[in-house]
Structure formats: structure tokens, C-alpha cells
Amino acid sequence: MTKLLTLKNIVVVTAVAVGAALLLTGCPSGQGNLLDRGDAAQKTYVAPGEYDEFYAFFSGGYSGQLSVWGLPSGRMFKNIPVFSQDPETGYGYYEESKPLLETSYGFIPWDDSHHPHLSQTEGVADGRWIFINANNTPRIARIDLEVFETVEVLELPNTGGNHASSFVTTNTEYIVGATRFSIPYETDLDVPIDSYSENFNGAFSLIKIDENTGEMSLDFQIIVPPYNYDLARPGKGPSADWIFFTTYNTEEAHTLLEINASAYDKDYVAALNWRKAAEYVRDGRATMIDAEYYHNYYDKSQGMAVSQIKDQVLLLDPKDAPGILYFMPTPKSPHGVDVDPTGEYLVAGGKLATVIPVHSFSRMIDAIENERFIDEVDGIPVLDYDATIVGEVENPGLGPLHTEFDGNGYAYTSVYISSEIVKWSLETFEVVDRIDAYYSIGHLMIPGGDTVNPYGKYMVGLTKTAKDRYLPTGPKQNHPAQLYDISGDRMQLLLDFPTIGEPHYAQAISRDKIMPNARRIYELSDNNNPYAIKRVADARVEREGDVVRVYMANIRSHFRPDNIEGIKLGDTVYFHLTNLEQEWDVVHGFAIKGMNTAEVLLAPGQTKTLKWTPTRTGIYPFYCTAFCSALHQEMQGYVRVSAADSDVELTWRTGDL
Amino acid sequence: MSIRARLLIILAGLILIPLWYIPFWSISMTAPQYPEGIGMYISINDIQGHNRHDLQSINTLNHYIGMKEIHKEEIPELRIIPWIVKAMIAFALIVGLTGNQKLLISWVVLFIVLSLAGIADYWWWGYDYGHNLDPRAPIKVPGMSYQPPLIGTKQLLNIRASSFPYWGSAFLALSFGFATASAWLNKSAARPQN
């Protein structure tokens, strides 16, 4: 014992401990400073009144929203509510929007929105719609990019955590969904959790898109083994008929997954031939099974959202559909699977792997043709790793996750644990550059970097913690994003800015694809809401039993009517508000004292309905919440609420003194 | 009258036809809240916004200072002027067909008189519109009136209003030009005989 405590031993142990601590905590790199060429401000400066080059769409993650940004300035333009109620705009509170948040589990005011994906034509984002998935109660939403509003939400049955979504095929034929958490298929099946392998299954969802209206319909689902399906990417070019999914938990664990799902050296990348699968379905190889899910959409003819309840779904079993699905072994618990612009390379981010494995699509096809199978799982052939792999990028850092491409022969992979981005060559599969991320990067995004035609100019890193990057704002801080210049040989950090929610993944598109189509008003003449009024003269109040409908006009700077009497306790009051303005960005709002919902904001030409049930007699002021005009402060009114048995007549007026 | 002179006066009449389709005057307004401007086109039979809903925006703005709303149904000139122009076209055709020089001179004189009357009427409309304000208007600026400029640019509170001829006026000018050319041809043809 005394021998161990010699001075020499103590020195050695201390040195080893200090070295290990340095290794574990990471040396201060100073790389950001070294790469600062002093022109970052110039590159991100968009002068007042000038326009950004790109629209960027950042998912809100746990905010359930989607935010719209400009690149390269990093300015935020808008926050679009999608899966979460939004008291700012009234989304999810006003009657017209409420059906959008209906599910087979009832009205859900929140979700976790992860992966936005722009609609594509010939493999390039076309700026018509952007789709985004809800992770928790599995859904996909469509946002119309003429108005930047959510117009449709489709629920997915047989799915637990729709994470591998919402990615579109190269001509927006399909959007894909997949279950992150395998669950039993039969609706509401009550079984022991440890019957996992027996009763649980995964599901791929193939959602068809109407090419003219963008409307989604769940075409069919594919039943797959009970793994966790993490991310997906449709192929492009030669691989355009395929969709690739990553799996983890091929161990089929149902408890303590951090250990139990990390046991195997390799999990799989699943390759699905969606075109062939759709043909099998058309040929009648799928079975119709019971399922309950909601399809919610704005009915153009009614000007309000409606909910449609579906009770069946077509299910295709790979056993009945040979040649549609293959597993490619991939190290280890892969997260992202990304397809390069040529459609040939499939890059998996093995979050526990020490290399970035790159599969070749053409080698995969060869392997299938030559039946280089090493196994079969539930009728799904498992391909030989050596037969499909074409490269392993060495020294990629710790925890590679997601890869995008610049179109110039390079790939950029986000690396979570070592908090960096590595740039590597698609020719040599060698790392050529690396740069720090602040801190712990998840997805990265190059405008068009997931399409056949990337704009290889900028890259955005979406990171998970801010720590010391900005003025501190308490123990919980907003997530950051970084903008990099990738036009040169070396990546350059240009901008580091906080975002809102959790910017999980993002998309970006040239402003030319969106700006010319952005609508300025809702045409009153096209307003089909049954409760809309088209002229001030149509403003009125009507009683139908104990329901009172107020058809109220909003126009600078008054409400019509603005004095309403004869409402009684027990009445349900609907304020049908129409903004009669037809001028860009002239917005009116409405709020009334004691209202237990939210305000509503009305874009020009829009009609929205707020339901109000007064609980006390008295005088209730209401007012315009949007600073609409010079006399905005005068835009107000009163509602008088009388006792249930009162004989106050229902009257309304505006402007009579 | 020579054939050329007769053709010219007929042309002077026919070239007024585009006035039904092309505005002859335009009023434009810009303000901090209207960086892209709003405005209206005036035709012999119509008033339209530069953009689809500009008239509604102009009326909404004007109600704050108590100006009357502009509704084309309420402007009698838009019903009367087309008949006057039709009459001038018919008159030009008669002049061309009869070749009567006195009628030609009358046409030119009538054109000048009607044009001056039109300008006077437009000024009066603008005066009435800018001065005859609702006493209950929320915004009252002592001594301020809102008559748009007859021609040119004027600052009216936050709004910079410009009033200028539009393409239709070119046809009016051409018509007048053709008619005077016709008269000129007759005059120079008459000279050697003297």
C-alpha cells in the first residue's frame, strides 16, 4: 500500500487524470476565431427595406409551430401555429380552426412538430406547400405558402410517434410517415407491455398528395417488424421510386432502451420501393383493416375547417408483396438517412457509430438482383453489409446524425456529441474540414441540400443548447441556430442567433419561388364562410333560441354593431367577425372582457367566429386588439348581459347618439 | 376639302374610341403606410383603382377627414361624357363625309370648348370633394382642405397626391392634332386659289 503512494506514482496518476479530464471535456478550440475572416457582418447584412435571398422554415419542435426566417440575415418573419393553439392569433380557439386540432383522441391543443418538408417538383422544392409532422399524436399538417397558414391535418393510425416524417417524394406523389414507437395495430388493444415482440408492430404510412390541391389521403400502410423507425428520406434520380428509413431497437426492447436498444453492432436501413408497393395495393394485395383517424381540412366551399372521421385503412404485408422492402445492416442505432443529389449515395448517421457509413444505391440493386441476403426478418430480406456499403467516413467525430449536400461533391454531417459539423468528400469519403457548433447540433440544413439541386452557399446548424452564447435568460434558454458560409473550401461561421421553440429541422427555398405567389388579402368576394358578411349593411344580431349570433363588421375604425343589448345569462353568443378591409396587412382583432378563450386576429377579408358564454350579468366592453389605424383606440363597443328572466329586448346599433 | 383632309377629320373622330377602354387621367397617392402607392384611373365612363381595391382604401382613408365616398354610380359625368364623345365622333364623320369646311372649324372650336369645360368641371369636382367635408369628421385640421391638384403634385397631410394625364389623353391630343391638321390642309389648299 505504501508502495503505491510514492511521489512518482502520485505524479503519474495526476497527469493521467488531468489528461483524461481534458479529453473528456474537450480542449478550447478557438476554431471559430481562427476562421473569422472579418467579413461575416457584410455577408449577412441585408439593408433595411431589402429582401433576404432565402425563405427558411424552422420547425418549432415542442412549440408545435413553424417559424419563417430570412437568410442570410437571420431575421424572423412569422410564427405559424400548426399543432398548437395560439392565443396570439386565436388559432385553435376560433370555431373555423378548431376542427384542425381534432383527433381520434379528442381535441388536442399541442404537439411536437419536427420535420418540415417543402413540396417538390422534379426533385426540387417548388414552394407550393410545406408539410410538417406531429410526433406525439401522429399527424401531418399542410401549410399553404400563398397565405402561410395551416390548412390541413391528417392523423395516422397504427402509429406511435410519427417521427420519420414528413418527407415528400420527388414529385410530391407521396409523403411518408412511420412509427417511431412500435405499438399494437388493433385499435385500443389492451395487452401486457412485455408481449412486445408478439403484439407490437411498426407501420410505414404512404400518404398520397393531390397534385392540384395538395390534399392528403392515407393511401396505405405497410406492416413492419416492431423496431423503432427513426427517420426517412425518399430517393431521387435513379432511386426516386424508393424511400429509405433508419431503424433502431432491432433488439425489440420495451424498457430501458438507452441500454437495451444499444446492444447490437448494427441496426438496419430499410429500403422501400413505394412505387412497387402502390402497384401491389392497386392489384388488391392489401387488406382493409379497421382503424380510427381524423382528416381535417379547410373546405374551400365552406370557408371553414371540417373533420372527417375515417374508419379503415389498407394494410400491405411485405410477405404478400415480394421485392418491396429490404433491410441494409448499418452501424449503430442510425439516426438520419440522407440521399445525395445524384440519388446514388445513402448516408446513414450512426449516432453510436465511429464511422459514417455510406451505402450505394446501385450496389444495393445489384445485391438484390444477386440475392446477397444474409438473413430474412418477417419476409424481409437482409442484405449483406459488404454488398451495399461503398465507403465509411473515418474520424467523423462522436455521434454523427444528419447529412446534407452542397451539390459540389461534398457532404456535411452534423455531429452531436463532439458538437461540430464535418465536411467530407463524396469521392474520397474523407473529412476535409470541420467546424464547431454551439452547442450539440441536431439537424443541419443547406437550402435545397436535400434536393437534386442544392444552393451550395449557406448552411444552417440547429443546435440544442445555448449555454453562454447570448445574454443569459435564466435556467431554460431558447435554442440557437448558426449560419455558415459554405461557398469556399472552408466553412465559415457567419451568424449565431436564438430561435423559438426547438428548431428541430428546417427547409429553405429561394425567395423567387414564394414571393410572387404570396397573397396580400383574402378576397371578400371569395369568402365562402356561411357566417361572413360582405357589406357593412349586413351587420346584424340574430337569436335562435338561446343561441345569439352577432354578424359583426370590422372596418377602420369601428365595429358594427358596437352596442348590443338583450343577451341573457344562459345564452351562447357567437361573434361572427368579418374584416371588411381589402388592403394588405390591415388587420383587426377582437376581445371581450372575461372571455375564457383568446383574442382573434382577422386578416383582410377573413371571417372568424368566437364562441362566448357569459357567466355574469353586466356590461362587457369589447375592443379591437390590433393597432389597425389612427383611431384604433376608439374601435370598441359594449355588450349588455341581463339576467336569464329579464325582458330586455335584443337590440343593436352603431353610431346613433 | 381634300381626300386627305377628310380622312384626317374622320381619323380624329375614330381615334376617340379607345377612350372607352383607356383612362385619360390618373391620380396617385403615396404615404408612409402606402409605400407602393394607391390611386385611381379616370376614364370617360369609369373610375377604377390602380389595384382592385384601391377605391375602397381611398374611401376608408377619406372618411377620417370627412370627404365624400367616391362611387362611380354617383358621378353623373361618367354617364354624360360618353354621349358627348359619341356626338363628337359622329360629328367628325359628318364633317368627313360632307367635306364642309365650316363644320370642320366648328368641330375644332367645339373640341376646345368642351375640353375647357371638362377641365373646369374636373376642377370643380375636385374643389367640392376637397372642401365639402363632413362636420363630424374625426380629423379636422384648421384651414386644411383636400382638393387634389388639377395637374401636378401636392402634399395633403401624410399623403402625397399626384394628378397627371394618362395614356387616354394621348388619343385626345392625337384627335385634336388630326383635326387641326385637317383644317391646316384646307387652309393651305385654299391659299393658291386666292
Report the sign of the C-alpha dihedral through residues A90, A93, A99, A103, in that order. Answer: positive
Other beta carbons less than 10 A from residue A376's beta carbon: 10
**Residue B175, all three cell numbers:** 384627335
What's the pLDDT at A31? 47
For residue A501, the Cα-to-chain-centroid distance in whole angstroms is 12
Give the mutation candidate from B50, B56, B71 for the A interface (greatest A CB count, under 10 A). B56
- Residue of B104, B126, B115 whose CA lies nearest to B44: B115
CA distance A496 to A72: 11
Q: For cell 384601391, name the residue.
A: B54
What's the pLDDT at A353? 86
Per-residue confidence band for A27, with pLDDT thresholds at 50, 70 and 90: very low
CA distance A442 to A457: 20
What's the pLDDT at A124? 98
Nearest to B56 among A582, A630, A634 (CB): A582
CB pairs under 8 A between A and B: 18
The ipTM of this complex is 0.88
Q: Running DSSP on this structure, what letter comes out for residue A614?
A: -
Q: In whole numbers, what is the pLDDT of chain A averaged over residues?
A: 93
**Residue A344, all three cell numbers:** 446514388
B83 occurs within a structural domain: yes
Q: Is A556 on the interface with B (CB under 8 A)?
A: yes
Name every chain B residue with its beta carbon within 8 A of the beta carbon of A634: 138
- Contact in structure between A416 and A440 (CB atoms under 8 Å): yes
Per-residue confidence band for A548, with pLDDT thresholds at 50, 70 and 90: very high
Name the pTM for this structure: 0.92
CA distance A357 to A203: 25
CA distance A40 to A43: 5
Per-residue confidence band for A151, with pLDDT thresholds at 50, 70 and 90: very high
Half-sphere exposure of A367 (CA within 13 A, CB side): 24
Query: Please, is A597 exposed, middle or buried when counting C-beta atoms within 10 Å of its C-beta (0-12, 13-18, 19+)?
Result: middle
Segments forming the whole domain that contains residue B135: 3-189
Per-residue confidence band for A6, with pLDDT thresholds at 50, 70 and 90: low
What's the pLDDT at B51? 94
Amino acid (one-letter) located at B85: V
pLDDT in tens, A597-624: 999 999 999 999 999 999 999 999 999 9
Query: Please, is A265 exposed, middle or buried when counting C-beta atoms within 10 Å of its C-beta (0-12, 13-18, 19+)?
Result: exposed
Name the minimum distance, in Å, from the CA of A556 to any CA of chain B: 7
What chain A holds in terms of domains, given with CATH numbers, is: 46-382+402-517 (2.130.10.10), 529-653 (2.60.40.420)
CA distance B150 to B153: 9
Q: Is B138 on the interface with A (CB under 8 A)?
A: yes
Per-residue buried b or exposed e for A490-521, using 16+ beta carbons within 10 Å of the residue's own CB: ebbbbbbbbbebbbbbbbbbbbebbeeeebeb
B27 occurs within a structural domain: yes
Name every chain B residue with its beta carbon within 8 A of the beta carbon of A581: 56, 60
Give the mutation candidate from A522, A523, A582 for the B interface (greatest B CB count, under 10 A). A582
Q: Is A581 on the interface with B (CB under 8 A)?
A: yes
Amino acid (one-letter) located at A114: H
Contact A630 B56 (CB under 8 A): no
What's the pLDDT at A117? 98
The nearest alpha carbon in chain A to B138 belongs to: A631
pLDDT in tens, A227-239: 999 999 999 999 9
What's the pLDDT at A26? 44
**Residue A341, all three cell numbers:** 443529389
Other beta carbons less than 10 A from residue A547's beta carbon: 12
> For chain B, what is the domain count?
1
The nearest alpha carbon in chain B to A583 belongs to: B57
Judged by average pLDDT, the poorest of A24-33, A237-246, A539-548, B108-117 is A24-33
Which residues have a Cβ under 8 Å from the Cβ of A356 and sit 6 or more positions away?
Answer: A347, A348, A349, A350, A392, A393, A396, A400, A403, A413, A424
Name every chain B residue with its beta carbon within 8 A of the beta carbon of A521: 53
Q: How far apart are the first and last CA of chain B?
A: 16
Q: Which residues, given as ranges, of chain B have pLDDT below 70?
A: 190-194
pLDDT at A648 over 50: yes
pLDDT in tens, A456-491: 999 999 999 999 999 999 999 999 999 999 999 999
What's the pLDDT at A36? 54
Q: Is B145 on the interface with A (CB under 8 A)?
A: no
Nearest to A555 among B60, B64, B139 (CB): B60
What is the signed CA dihedral for B60, B62, B65, B68, rounded to 10 degrees?
-110
Contact B60 A556 (CB under 8 A): yes
Q: Is B132 on the interface with A (CB under 8 A)?
A: no
Which residues have a Cβ under 8 Å from the Cβ of B172 and sit 6 or more positions away?
Answer: B16, B19, B24, B115
Average pLDDT over residues A516-522: 96
- Contact in structure between B91 and B155 (CB atoms under 8 Å): no
B194 occurs within a structural domain: no
- Contact in structure between A481 and A501 (CB atoms under 8 Å): no
What's the pLDDT at A241? 98
* Phi-psi label, residue A495: left if phi above 0, alpha if psi -120 to 50, beta otherwise: beta
pLDDT in tens, A92-103: 999 999 999 999
Per-residue confidence band for A495, with pLDDT thresholds at 50, 70 and 90: very high
- Contact in structure between A374 and A388 (CB atoms under 8 Å): no
Kindly state the percentage of chain A with pLDDT values over 90.
91
Per-residue confidence band for A33, with pLDDT thresholds at 50, 70 and 90: very low
B98 occurs within a structural domain: yes
Contact B52 A582 (CB under 8 A): yes
CA distance A82 to B185: 75
- Residue A632, helix vs strand vs coil: helix
